[in-house]
Structure 1
């Protein structure tokens, strides 16, 4: 399996977003841009061979803190390391830009995402109770420093 991570446009993110079954809310380029605003952003897309397999989108909360907002992997590419590669690429980007931490929000209904985040050094810092327990949101954060992921080598494709 040939996996490549590239920078993405918001149009590419929207296209993949609509192919991920867990995402049910309508989203378009304007909605993404409105959320990001004038903040620095990192939009990544993963390709398996020539086919888009997943994406990750985040933006700066302030000069020290980055928010990993939206991401997903198409069902046929799950358990192939795509999400892990995107997470590592985003962390590397954030460190290169000088951010000191990354935060992310997930739900109890996404246990694979929660386990991957914990495995990668993210810690739960907040719980938002909304709806049923399965819908509770967990806010996690990871402090970034030279020791975190220093051995990660990323190859961005064209």
Structure 2
């Protein structure tokens, strides 16, 4: 059995931003690696949750989210390094984020993904997220899907 730990933070530090920026560069599905500055800009002065997941002590994934409305939490960005996929890390972080958001008084969680990320889309639908909007793209695989779940 693997030793898996999820570390939760509600304040972004320079060290956390650096770890996340380095992780985003390792996840090919992300449109672009995030910089320390872009992460700080997105999360500063907002109620936020920063999850880091470790497998056997090695940083394997992350999930970032923040408040966008009084009762709505936005799951902004996340990913798992290729070597650590298919062991349930993304689902564990999603469930952690949902429980945390509900405990903070949020009643809705929103997320965006693209058609081309089938594993993510399947996980969201399996966890009771519903599609609320589609942003069309000339390449259907790049259609952006907006989903939400009531907590």
- Do they fold alike, i.e. is TM over 0.5? yes
Distance in structure 1 (CA, Å) of the matches to 2:33 and 2:62: 17
**Which segments of 5 or more consecutive residues in structure 1 lack a partner in the other structure?**
145-158
Which residue matches 1:150? none
The answer to whether the Cα contact below 8 Å between 1:66 and 1:99 also exists between their aligned partners in 2 is yes
The answer to whether the Cα contact below 8 Å between 2:24 and 2:33 also exists between their aligned partners in 1 is no
Distance in structure 1 (CA, Å) of the matches to 2:25 and 2:33: 8
Residue pairs, 1:75-154, within 5 angstroms: 75-144=82-151
Question: How many residues are paired up?
Answer: 144
Local SS of the residue matching 2:70: coil
C-alpha change, 1:45 and 1:34, in structure 2 (3 Å) is same
Distance in structure 2 (CA, Å) of the matches to 1:76 and 1:93: 27
Moved over 4 A (4+): none
Q: What is the TM-score with the length of structure 1 in the denominator?
A: 0.87
**Which segments of 5 or more consecutive residues in structure 2 lack a partner in the other structure?**
10-15
Which residue matches 1:151? none
Local SS of the residue matching 1:32: helix
CA deviation after TM superposition for structure 1 residue 27, in Å? 1.8
User: Residues 21-77 of structure 1, C-alpha deviation per residue, up to 9 Å, x if partnerless?
Assistant: 222424211111212342111110111110011100011002200000000001111
Local SS of the residue matching 1:61: strand
Which residue matches 1:44? 51
Structure scoring higher RCO (CA < 8 A, sep ≥ 6) equals 1
RMSD over aligned Cα atoms: 1.2
